[in-house]
Copies of this chain bind each other. A is one copy, B any other.
């Protein structure tokens, strides 16, 4: 099996300790450090734990959307590996009140509807009581004979992203301020669109060399791709497809920062050989409304550097850290 390197961060230090020195079990072809694990038979598996008051707040959207969002975010890990969704296992926890009032049932219905709309059946379920807040764990199962990994990017490759960046972060910032985001931004948070069909289409071109999905923010997530591929990444800030609604709400400078560090966009960061560029128009025809943008390049070296519009280079800011040194909760 492959154990890919992770970028810096307290969260990843702990993950590293959990898997440090791991001996490969037979049948596991890709293990720790990627978006999912790969098993003999072409299976890809990943798990994602969503907690109330960490990943969402009760007032931000409805319980169907808590469940749907958890499923959509989890399925994004299959998009990251260019795997076709097959099924999910769903664990729900909620208080006796949430059970009695139907809130927990609505979470489950939203999760099931989202899974089925994206081609995954709910093949296992577990429901348990929680002391207070809702918790949702989603295990996703997909299939591919040729998983897209975080390692594989080579100097000379281009860097691409799907969709717009910063919209989910802008929505969260407005919600934290007690404001209702405009519908397009609210949708970016409440109903993220895992790029499953897009990933399969792009993988079919044969030009992708590495990829991952953007859950913690482009700047930080890119460090994982750089570390796993043992390359450097150069990103042009002026090329980033910043969400226009985020720009409208917060101005260009803040929107750029949200695009780099806001997290939860669930778009794809891809490395590809230069020939992918010739498929950009075909992608646009197939996926109208989903831009495919070249944002930089893969170079020899390590780490991620950003090139500002004035040409100045600086190291990438860190991604969302679940345990920031300041100790203050991020949301």
Comparing A97-105, A272-280, A296-304, the segment that makes contact with chain B is: A97-105
Is the CB–CB distance between A91 and B323 below 8 Å? no
Which residues in window 2-47 of A have CB below 8 A to B?
10-11, 14-15, 17-19, 22-28, 31-32, 36-37, 39-43, 45-47
The verdict on A249 contacting chain B, using a C-beta distance below 8 Å, is no
A276 nearest CB across to chain B (Å)? 29
Which residues of chain B are within 8 angstroms of A45 by Cβ–Cβ distance?
45, 89, 124, 139, 141
Is the CB–CB distance between A137 and B28 below 8 Å? no
Which residues of chain B are within 8 angstroms of A236 by Cβ–Cβ distance?
none
Mark each residue of chain A from 108 to 139: 1 if its CB lies under 8 Å from any CB of chain B, else 0: 11011000000011111111111101010101
Which residues of chain B are within 8 angstroms of A111 by Cβ–Cβ distance?
18
Tallying the copies of this chain within the complex gives 2
Which residues of chain B are within 8 angstroms of A141 by Cβ–Cβ distance?
28, 39, 45
Residue from B26, B120, B124, B131 in contact with A54 in the complex, judged by beta carbons closer than 8 Å: B131
A98 nearest CB across to chain B (Å)? 10
Is the CB–CB distance between A32 and B329 below 8 Å? no
A122 nearest CB across to chain B (Å)? 5
The verdict on A227 contacting chain B, using a C-beta distance below 8 Å, is no
Which residues in window 27-84 of A have CB below 8 A to B?
27-28, 31-32, 36-37, 39-43, 45-49, 51-55
10 sampled A-B residue pairs with Cβ under 8 A: A10-B99, A14-B99, A22-B121, A24-B121, A28-B87, A28-B123, A36-B124, A54-B129, A96-B327, A129-B329
